[in-house]
Homo-oligomer: A and B are copies of this chain.
Amino acid sequence: MSQPTPDFSRGAAYVNGTFVPMSEAKIPLGDWGFTRSDVTYDVAHVKHGGFFRLDDHLDRFETSLAGYRLTPPVDRAQMREIVGRCVALSGLREAFVAMLSTRGVPRVFGSRNPHDCDNTFYAYAIPWLDVIKPDVQERGAHLLVASVPRFSSRSLDPTLKNYNWRDLSRGVFEALDSGYDTALLLDDDGFVTEGPGFNVFIVKGDVVTTPDRGALLGITRRSVLELCPELGLEPRIAPVTFDDLMEADEVFTTTTAGGVMPCARVNDRIYGNDRPGEISLRLKALYWQKHAEGWHMTPVNYDDPERPFAAGLTPEGEKRP
């Protein structure tokens, strides 16, 4: 009797060498990726049936793996193939694609030595989602500067993507409790860092600034910095204080799972007409227009999931074949 074809439409995952529906994707309770949050990851997205800046995400993931001293059992080319296959299997033209490596379960029972663990690689593609809901993006997000400070960069390198989110999660509760959509965290010295899963930008005149510290080197952040000149804007990476935030003309956030997301309020400060600012909206429009034009895009071959990046389909935008 033949096996029924798995239903990958709600997401496809790669777990221990096999592809399973997202609902079946699990990790052992004893994996240090869970019991010590000893794991790093990256998240790319697919729009119009193609990955956006896939190799930039793989570059960053490799940097994170090195920082965590994690050696997954697959190489970069295989990871690329696996995430492509997750998308092709799911059939999703708009997706959120995660790749991750955990420390694993020690080979020697009870060992506390990370060298006794076989590191893992997991991946999955799930339907597109926005970190900040579309209707909230439409009216402009309301951010609360949380009282909890971001983990010090001396203890946790924020440029290595990780799940040690306790500070951010506390910030989210604080924001929701006060009727805000989400939180923004300052570091111990009072400088603006980032929010739960997104970078932040302030606009003052034609200068567009994002913090130089305490934050992930976001791929959407980089895209915005690259696109600014096309709109006659000056991109800047610099310290951002709480006062800078309050005195800005506009504020917006950026993330893979949402793109450019304008804000209308931070704490009791209301920007412009309590709506997304003009420059934020122009950057948002340009960001998505670039997607439609195939900028940094790697199309997925949905017809044959075993060859997710069929030869001849990679356009000029992508840096590497």
> Which residues of A pack against B, CB within 8 Å?
13, 15, 22-23, 25-30, 33-39, 69, 109-110, 112-115, 122, 124, 126-127, 129-132, 148-152, 154-156, 162-169, 172-173, 176, 182, 188, 196-197
A37 x B164 contact (CB < 8 A):
yes
A sample of 11 cross-chain residue pairs with beta-carbon separation below 8 angstroms, ordered by A number, consists of A22-B29, A26-B27, A27-B27, A27-B29, A34-B163, A36-B168, A112-B197, A113-B176, A148-B155, A152-B152, A164-B166
Taken together as a complex, chains A and B put the C-alpha atoms of A155 and B129 apart, in Å, by: 28
Number of copies: 2
Which residues on the B side are within 8 Å of A112 (C-beta)? 131-132, 172, 182, 196-197
A22 x B30 contact (CB < 8 A):
yes
Which residues on the B side are within 8 Å of A169 (C-beta)? 36, 38, 114
Give A39's nearest chain B residue, CB to CB: B34
Give A182's nearest chain B residue, CB to CB: B112
The 10 A-B pairs with the shortest beta carbon distances in the complex, nearest first, are A110-B129, A26-B26, A37-B37, A36-B165, A25-B29, A155-B167, A164-B164, A164-B166, A37-B163, A151-B155
- 8 Å CB contact of A167 from B23, B148, B156, B168: B156
Taken together as a complex, chains A and B put the C-alpha atoms of A126 and B29 apart, in Å, by: 12
Give the distance to chain B from A178, nearest Cβ to Cβ, in Å: 14
| Residue among A37, A39, A113, A188 with most chain B CB within 10 A | A37
Which residues on the B side are within 8 Å of A163 (C-beta)? 34-37
Give the distance to chain B from A259, nearest Cβ to Cβ, in Å: 14
A166 x B176 contact (CB < 8 A):
no
Which residues on the B side are within 8 Å of A188 (C-beta)? 152, 154, 188
Give the distance to chain B from A269, nearest Cβ to Cβ, in Å: 23
Taken together as a complex, chains A and B put the C-alpha atoms of A131 and B36 apart, in Å, by: 14
Give the distance to chain B from A151, nearest Cβ to Cβ, in Å: 5
Give the distance to chain B from A72, nearest Cβ to Cβ, in Å: 15
Which residues on the B side are within 8 Å of A167 (C-beta)? 155-156
A114 x B27 contact (CB < 8 A):
no
Q: A26-B29, A36-B165 are in contact. List 7 more A-B contacts (CB 8 A).
A: A27-B34, A109-B127, A110-B129, A112-B196, A114-B172, A149-B155, A152-B155
Taken together as a complex, chains A and B put the C-alpha atoms of A182 and B113 apart, in Å, by: 9
- 8 Å CB contact of A166 from B13, B129, B156, B182: B156
- 8 Å CB contact of A37 from B29, B113, B166: B166
Given A25-B28, A27-B34, A154:B148 Cβ within 8 A: yes
Which residues on the B side are within 8 Å of A27 (C-beta)? 26-27, 29, 34
Which residues on the B side are within 8 Å of A23 (C-beta)? 28
B150 x A37 contact (CB < 8 A):
no
B34 x A34 contact (CB < 8 A):
yes
Which residues on the B side are within 8 Å of A36 (C-beta)? 163, 165, 168-169
Which residues on the B side are within 8 Å of A109 (C-beta)? 127, 129
Taken together as a complex, chains A and B put the C-alpha atoms of A41 and B168 apart, in Å, by: 19
Give the distance to chain B from A245, nearest Cβ to Cβ, in Å: 20
